[in-house]
Chain A
Amino acid sequence: MTARLLGRAAFLTAALSFALSSPTYAGEVEKAEHRRLSEDMEKKAQKNIWAGVERSFQELLALQKSGEVLTYEDWLLGAQAARGLGDMASCKDRLTQALTVEANAESQAWLDEINANYVPVTLKSPNKEATATLTIEAMLFATDQRLAVEVAQKTLAETREFSGLLPVGNYTFTDGTLTKSFSVASGGAPINVKLVAEGGEKGSGGGGLTWAGPRIDVGGAYTLGLSPSAEGTTAPGAFSAVGARAGVGVELGLSQNFGVALTVGYHNLINPLGEDEVVTDKAGGVTAHLGYGQLSAVLRMSDLWITAGGVFATGVATVQSPTDVTIQPEECQSADGIEANPWCVYFTENAQAGGTMSGRLTAPGASLSVGYALFDLGDGLQGAVSVGGGALASGVRLYPWGQVALTIAPAPKRNK
């Protein structure tokens, strides 16, 4: 018996020992891998194979997420690899990391040199049909500077966008139609250049629009009528329905990124009324036909469109009433029974339990949508898919809605 107990104790001790030793083993594996990658980086660096150094460094960064701590030499080789590949932003980041690990006058001088000779630059060319090109006025001697420009040129040709560090110099950025020149000066502020027409480029002495044209939003909406919130008010219970929401109007660009849109439209709710009496405390079917007007501010960030503004809607609605609807609130009625309070919903017919109630709905609200431009339609129009929503607020309840829509709006004007 004693022997058996001792045997179990020994087994448990061994098992516990193994369990405790497992994390140590994992750490050693990572350390060994760290050592292997560091040596691999050093060998490749000695032969100036910077793409290989970069690959190993990326593996080191993955190890770092596992808890391995990168050394000064690791970060320095990573910085050298980034420089060798023309990625001076990463070079600067890694050099900064190296200096947080270990102070080094030579690396600090290198970082100072980067800060003196490079400036963050963001370049965008929204014109998808053109090839964006970047040229520098004077040929550069320093290899890192030449590579940084070459990488920017290649990236722009492939993606029409570049964000990184560019060396001091005078540049020309063009898509073949629109051209902008800019200078990178030592110690200068970050530069952001987008190839869109400026407001003053129409030749009219300024005050022109950066874009102008019709705006159309067509889509489906899901709309809720939340439970009445006003105390003492009796109205149909909560309801919901899908429907259509479409608007048409104009959109005007007031600057490179900002504009306004004014639209009028139609918003309906279609949830067919049931034939049977409603026996729950919730409303049944609903139909509503609303007209609305909307004034919005528009923010355009390249292909990303954000539209936010105020809405005023009015229309008629018919709701299958719940079982306990009996009272029409006084504050919602005038002498002729209409619009004593325009912000509440009221029903003038069949206001008895189980019946239907019809009336006018008038409410202000707000909306927000985010769209992404996907295609050009010609004639200066672009098409986008938008998702958004909003809410109307009557005196009785909120009417939130969500919407997916196809949005057609004017494209930014090109330089002539």
Chain B
Amino acid sequence: MLGRTPARLLAAIALLLTGPALGVEVSSKDGGHVQNPVWSPDGQWLSFEVNNMSNVVELWLTKMNGSAPGTPTQLRIPGASTSFGAGGYFAASPVWATTPALMIVFEGSNPGGKRRLYYANPGSGAPNELITNAQIQGNISSAAISKSGKRFAFISDVTGSGDVYVWNLEKGDLGVMGGAATEASENFPNFNDAGDTLVFSRKNDGNQDLFTWSSGATTPPLKGGNGDQTRPRWVGDKVVYFTSERGEGHWDIAVTGKSGERVVIAQDVRLPSRSAPAVTPDGGAVVYASSVPEKADRLLVTRLDGSGTVEIPTGLVACGEPALTVAGGRTLVAFTALPSEGADWRRLHVIDITGKL
């Protein structure tokens, strides 16, 4: 992957000199910003949101044909109006699962309805509610699925100010994490590879800090500090997350381990609308866009150990929210950007960067 040697650094510089990568724009409707692209684990599907910045957020799905995206289809939750003008409609924040089958899980609500979780098998069938009212009522959001597909976590406001709930699919039991609701607001749960430990953010003295939880154990703080530590994601035995410790408006990507040490590997990143830091499929690097205007035309890939960064010029404006996948031997990165200065709506683009990392 990324080079630590001078030769590889030279190769990276050479890439810079070759000019912007040629991207493919994914067809999307007018009247909304495209945001939050998320690849399916096999790289065959790409989901994204269209936000009209008023009262409608739609979730769309496109099947990839190699590096070329197909015609997107909208994932409508049950009861959704088929007209675009239905204000108050929300479908967003997708996560993917591969067990027991490839499926996309996302949040959704109809006008006046509660926020609930829905799932769909891409390419077959309409979305369906994942967790019924009989199981738990209220608003639920922020889904996380263990790799084995045996554990499912989400946030519910039915108790406290937003608590992490864990659903053990093997046993069928569903309950609040640790068996007791907390007064603090919790969010963004994420399972480690083994599926036995959660990392999540919790409002702690006014700011969000990271905590972990293992079945039957307490929730020791993982990482606190100034500003918010949020949207954590396990990568092996480390946690990658966004931090605003340097002050409001400055978002960095940091890596921490069980010992609590912290390494900031990227500064002044453009905070995605909803997602955790994007990580390469091998877990070796993060992919992000810069909030520095001079670097807004490119994507950046930085190794977790901080040993190197590759810049990917795009030729577009205000790049953001990159997501990277490897499928069929090709390395593809999806991201949003304005087609030009002054353009109204952000669009979704896919670039083939095979061999450039």
Residue numbers of A with Cβ under 8 A of B are 42, 44-48, 73, 77, 80, 83-84, 106-107, 109-110, 112-114, 116, 138-144, 147
Task: Assess whether A48 is in contact with B169, with CB atoms less than 8 Å apart.
Answer: no
A84 and B110 contacting across the interface, CB-CB below 8 Å: no
Chain B residues whose CB sits within 8 angstroms of the CB of A110 once the complex forms: 124-126
**B contacts with A: majority SS:** loop
Q: In the bound complex, what is the Cα–Cα distance between A47 and B113 (angstroms)?
A: 5
Within 8 A of A (CB), among B66-83: 73, 76, 78-82
Q: Is the CB of A107 within 8 A of B78?
A: no
Contacts A80-B126, A84-B132 given; 19 further ones with Cβ under 8 A?
Answer: A42-B79, A46-B110, A46-B111, A47-B112, A47-B113, A48-B79, A73-B82, A80-B78, A106-B126, A107-B126, A110-B124, A112-B124, A116-B124, A141-B101, A141-B149, A142-B128, A143-B129, A143-B130, A147-B132
Shortest Cβ distance from residue B97 to the other chain A in the assembled complex, whole angstroms: 8
Instruction: Say whether B328 faces chain A, with CB atoms less than 8 Å apart.
Output: no
Q: Does B6 contact A (CB under 8 A)?
A: no
Q: Which residue of B lies closest to A110 (CB)?
A: B125
Cβ A139 vs Cβ B110 within 8 A: no
Closest B residue by C-beta to A106: B126
Scan residues 120-134 of chain B and give those whose CB is less than 8 A from a CB of chain A: 121, 123-126, 128-133
B29 part of interface (Cβ distance < 8 Å): no
> When A143-B130, A143-B131 are in contact, do A48 and B125 touch as well, CB less than 8 Å?
no
Give chain B nearest CB distance to A8 CB in angstroms.
55
Contact with A along B300-316 (1 / 0, CB 8 A): 00000000000000000
Contact of B125 among A44, A84, A109, A138 (CB under 8 A): A109
A141 near B169 with CB under 8 A, answer yes
Q: Which residues of chain A are near B282, meaning CB under 8 Å? A: none
Contact yes or no, B116 A48, CB < 8 A: yes
- Report the Cα distance A84→B79, complex, angstroms: 11
Out of B101, B103, B113, which one reaches A48, CB within 8 Å?
A: B113
Distance in Å from the Cβ of B34 to the closest Cβ of chain A?
21
Number of interface residues of B (CB under 8 A): 34
5 closest A-B pairs by beta carbon, nearest first, are A45-B79, A46-B110, A113-B125, A46-B79, A110-B125
Distance in angstroms between the alpha carbons of A80 and B121 in the assembled complex:
16
Residue pair A84, B126 in contact (C-beta under 8 Å)? no
- The reply to whether B149 and A144 form a contact with Cβ atoms under 8 Å apart is no
Which positions in B face A, CB cutoff 8 Å? 73, 76, 78-82, 97, 100-101, 103, 110-114, 116, 119, 121, 123-126, 128-133, 149, 169-172
Among B79, B123, B132, residue most surrounded by chain A Cβ atoms (within 10 Å): B79
Residues of A within 8 A of B113 (CB): 46-48
A350, chain B: closest CB distance, angstroms? 82
Q: Sample 9 A-B pairs with CB under 8 A, ordered by A number.
A: A42-B81, A45-B78, A46-B79, A46-B111, A47-B113, A139-B172, A141-B100, A141-B149, A143-B131
Chain B residues positioned under 8 Å from A138 (CB to CB):
100
Residues of B contacting A44 with CB < 8 Å? 79
B80 contacts across to A, CB distance below 8 A = 46
Query: CA of A116 to CA of B123 in the docked complex: distance in angstroms?
Result: 13
Residues of A within 8 A of B119 (CB): 141-143
Of B110, B123, B126, the most chain A CB neighbours within 10 A belong to B126
Contact among A42, A109, A147 for B123, CB-based, below 8 A: A109
Q: Which residue of A lies closest to B118 (CB)?
A: A143
| Bound: A42/B100 CA distance, A | 32
Q: Which of A113, A114, A138 has the most CB of B within 10 A?
A: A113
Residues of A within 8 A of B79 (CB): 42, 44-48, 77, 80
Tell me how far the C-beta of B9 lies from the nearest C-beta in chain A, rounded to whole angstroms.
46
Residues in B with CB closer than 8 Å to A46 are: 79-80, 110-113
Give chain B nearest CB distance to A253 CB in angstroms.
Answer: 40
In the complex, the answer to whether B124 meets A113 with C-beta atoms within 8 Å is yes
Find out whether the CB atom of B73 lies under 8 angstroms from the CB atom of A143: no
- Judge whether B78 and A113 touch: CB under 8 Å: no
A244 to chain B, nearest CB (A): 58
Alpha-carbon gap, A44 to B78, bound state (A) = 10
Least Cβ distance of A258 to chain B in Å? 41
Q: Which of B116, B125, B129 has the most C-beta atoms of chain A within 10 angstroms of its own C-beta?
A: B125
Which B residues touch A106, using CB under 8 A?
73, 76, 126
Q: How far apart are the CA atoms of A107 and B128 in the complex, in Å?
A: 13
B78 near A139: Cβ-Cβ < 8 Å: no
Min CB gap B86→A, angstroms: 9
- Complex CA–CA separation, A44 to B119 (angstroms): 20
Is the CB–CB distance between B100 and A84 below 8 Å? no
User: Which residue of A is nearest B124, CB measured?
Assistant: A113
Q: Which residues of A contact B169 (CB under 8 A)?
A: 139, 141
Closest-CB distance, B114 to chain A (whole angstroms): 7
Task: Tell me, rounded to whole Å, the shortest Cβ–Cβ distance linking A120 to chain B.
Answer: 19
